[in-house]
Structure 1
Amino acid sequence: MFCSCYPCCRVRPSCTLVNLRAILCQPCADQSQTTLVSKLEALQCHFTWDLDTSRSKLFRCRERFEDFFTEDRHSWLGHIYKLRGFIEYKLGFTEEAQSFFNKATEAFRQMRNADEGPWLVVNYGNLAWLHHHLGDPAESEAYLTKVDTLMKKYQSPAQDELHPEIYAEKAWTFIRFSTDKMLLAADYFQRAIRMQPDMVEWHTYHPGAPGRVSQVKLVSGKGPD
């Protein structure tokens, strides 16, 4: 039995499965970790969107979102749960973070009347990052596989563009969390609506920041960051 980088880390015949992991060479583990991190960094999710995570900002947003949780049919409830999960993680509450991410999955299941769809790509990306930070690479890889499966099954209608569900959620998140990215958020909403014009809430959403998205001058000629 040999490790993938044989001959540098040949396993001795006398070794048992119990101590196999301890014998495998460090380069193998390092390479695996590097590959996992590269996959995580390529995701579109709250962990990769360069959000302002100062504690004062996190506490203000958490307090604001608590008012929404009495509205079970709020059209953005799944998105709120996802952002709340990210906030809880950044504040150091990992169990609460996972709970909110799981609530987001259930909220979308009820709102969309479907067990899966492109709206879960961001949430599965969040869960992949969460399990990575919790030191569980196997579970992180499992969620990366789910993301990959959804991306292949629900491809963007426009070549070289994000899926409209991802554009819309990224735009909503920027509006709720990063007012300095309002112009970019407006552009993302415009892209989402152009590809999927039947989503009423994308047209009518009124952000907490001053002015409607439709009143913000759109940024032209920019692709996804």
Structure 2
Amino acid sequence: MDFVFDSEISKDSLKTILLELECHFTWNLLKEDIDLHDVEDSIGQQLEFLTSKPRLVLHNLLAYVKHLKGQSKDALKCLEQAEDVIQKEHPAEKEACSLVTWGNYAWVSYHIGQFEDAQKYLDRVRNVCRKLCSPSKYKLEHPKIDCEKGWALLKFGGKYYQRAKAAFEKALEAEPDNPEFNVGYALTMYRLDDFDREGPVKSFSLGPLRKAVALNPGNTYIKVFLALKLQDVHAEAEGEGYIEEILNQTSSQPYVLRYAAKFYRRKRSWDKALQLLKEALEGTPSSSFLHHQMGLCYRAQMMQIKKATHNRPKGKDKLKVDELIQSAIFHFRVAVEQDSMFVFAYMDLANMYAEAGQYSNAEDIFQKALHLEHITDDHKQQIHYQYGCFHQFHCKSEYAAIHCYLEALKVKGRSSLHMKLTSALKKLATKRLYHNALDMLSLSALGFVYKLEGETRRATEYYQKALKIDPENEEFLTALCELQLSI
């Protein structure tokens, strides 16, 4: 028998029951980890242009984003659209497919004080769970729910990729050859391969991508990712075959064109890449991804001219370089404006300002990047490293550069940047000590690096020298104490 909301006791226990549900409100998707405007825009574009993406997933996710923005009425409209999709596209599994949507309905109703509506949707969930013999009153183990969870986690960025992988793996355990589950899993593996920009090329996604393409032969979206991965593993000709096939059958899908453009940019066919990006921008003019890719193309063209002129372009070459720099700055700036969490766009914009000699603008963008919250340790380390390069090579401030490199190393232990950072620190510190053997910062930096590398004797030696200059320094004393205890 369904229960009726009629007392404060029921109201107090309502949230406890809501927390048992499987839906976006219980998957720990934090708004601090995304740019709400950019994600909302991206979902809207996918609903309009990306026919291969499951529409139920997109409407439910958009409802959650609307809720995070405080737009409860709009969230309810999105959930109505999700119900329409269920009726039209999932009639055979209507009940199981409705559970996430009803869970979201219950949560939105709860947040706007419509407790009777919240209970109504909880009743629906409970009835389905009972009908399908779930051991839990308000939760059903079902691969479609795991898949929807995977898509939601994937949309919230790099910090969620491992959880997304686990969700898709769980769905695939139940249905190994489900086309949609395989697409989600392959895309997640591709994102994980691509997540560490500094490390060696990873190809864990190649097998899953091939399987996803085989199960979804008409899905151009997943096919373009296979092409990019083939390019990664030096099978560019095979990858380009897929790209040409895609472009011959796709005229106006911005989400396919953008990745085809990325393929040609990496092939150094910049004019072709820019042509595709401009075509894609006509459909999705506010896409942060497209603007960032355009900036990368203009930067690559600029660097090509500088290399050909031994970094001393003159006349027409100089004018062209300046024009390309300004074009890159424009597009990187738009990318950052559209997505305030786009770490690489911040770094590319700052470095392009530096290239233009606009150091105060570069400093301003680096400061904004350094103050970004809720980003991954990899991204924090990248920002400190790039900021150090800016100080070393543009501002000619070795002192500031050493500080930045040290901050980068303090973010986390071993990473793909570790060797670059330790190498840069050793070179700078050794150079400075050659000119001034009492340079305390360089002595302590070398002590820190050798301590990280496990070279206890050398680390101790440098920290002892630094302590002679500053005997009361707590950082040096602590480091020495730790080194002596490790012997």
- State whether TM-score is above 0.5: yes
- Determine which structure has more spread, i.e. the larger CA radius of gyration: 2
In structure 2, the residue corresponding to 1:143 is in which secondary structure?
Answer: helix
Structure 1 pair 209–198 and aligned structure 2 pair: CA distance change class (3 A): closer
SS of residue in 2 equivalent to 1:210: helix
Is 2:169 the counterpart of 1:190? yes
- Please, which of 80, 84, 87 is the counterpart of residue 106 of structure 1? 84
Does residue 80 of the first structure (1) align with residue 58 of the second (2)? yes
Unaligned runs of 5+ in 1: 1-27, 217-225
Q: What's the secondary structure of 2:94's corresponding residue? A: coil
The letter of the residue matching 2:73 is E
Alignment-derived partner of residue 455 in structure 2 = none
Q: 1:188 to 1:84 in 2, by over 3 A?
A: same
CA distance in 2, matches of 1:56, 1:185: 16
Residues 128-178 of structure 1: per-residue CA shift (max 9 Å, x gap): 01111121111110100111122233457xxx9832111111111111114
2:129–2:140 contact (8 Å) kept in structure 1: no
List runs of 5+ in structure 2 lacking aligned partners. Answer: 1-5, 195-203, 207-487
Aligned identity (percent) is 22
Give the 3 Å change call, closer, same or farther, for CA 167–212 of structure 1 in structure 2.
farther
> Is residue 121–residue 151 contact of structure 1 (8 Å, CA) maintained in 2?
no
Aligned with residue 33 of structure 1, among 11, 21, 24 = 11
Deviations 1:17-41 (A, max 9, x none): xxxxxxxxxxx84321121111111
Q: Is the 8 A contact 1:176 1:208 kept in 2?
A: no
CA distance in 2, matches of 1:41, 1:179: 25
**TM, length-normalised to structure 1:** 0.73
What TM-score comes out, normalization by structure 2 length? 0.35
* CA shift in 2, pair 1:56/1:189, >3 Å: closer
Residue from 22, 25, 35 that aligns with 1:57: 35
CA distance, structure 1, for counterparts of residue 205 and residue 49 of structure 2? 27
Q: Decide whether the 8 Å contact of 2:165 with 2:189 is kept in 1.
A: no
Q: 1:221 maps to what in 2? A: none
Q: Which amino acid aligns with 1:186?
A: K
Q: Which has the higher contact order (CA 8 A, sep 6+)?
A: 1
The code of the aligned residue for 1:171 comes to G
One-letter identity of the residue aligned with 1:87: V
Range moving further from structure 2, 101-110 or 122-131: 101-110
Distance 1:150 1:212 in 2: 38
Instruction: Give the deviation of 1:94 after TM superposition.
Output: 1.2
Q: Deviations over 1:71-100 (max 9, x none)?
A: 485441111000101111111111110000
Distance 2:140 2:33 in 1: 33
Structure 1 residue identity aligned to 2:13? T
How big is the alpha-carbon RMSD for the aligned residues of Structure 1 and Structure 2?
2.8
The residue matched to 1:135 in structure 2 has which SS? coil
Moved more, 196-205 or 166-175: 196-205
Q: What's the counterpart of residue 170 of structure 1? A: 149
Q: Would you say how many aligned residue pairs link Structure 1 and Structure 2?
A: 186
- Work out the CA distance in 2 between the residues paired with 1:138 and 1:151: 20
Distance 1:182 1:105 in 2: 28
CA contact under 8 A between 1:175 and 1:208: conserved in structure 2?
Answer: no
Deviations 1:42-93 (A, max 9, x none): 1111111111213962112111111122248544111100010111111111
Matched, 1:210 2:191: yes
Letter in structure 2 aligned against 1:120 = S
Letter in 2 for 1:113: P
Closer, same or farther: CA 112–128 of 1 in aligned 2, 3 Å: same
Aligned counterpart, 2:290 = none
Measure, in 2, the Cα distance between the counterparts of 1:179 and 1:55: 9
- Taking the aligned partners of 1:109 and 1:204, their CA distance within structure 2 comes to 23
Partner of 2:26: 48
Q: Amino acid of the residue matched to residue 60 of structure 2?
A: K
Quick check: 1:175–1:209 contact (8 Å CA) kept in 2? no
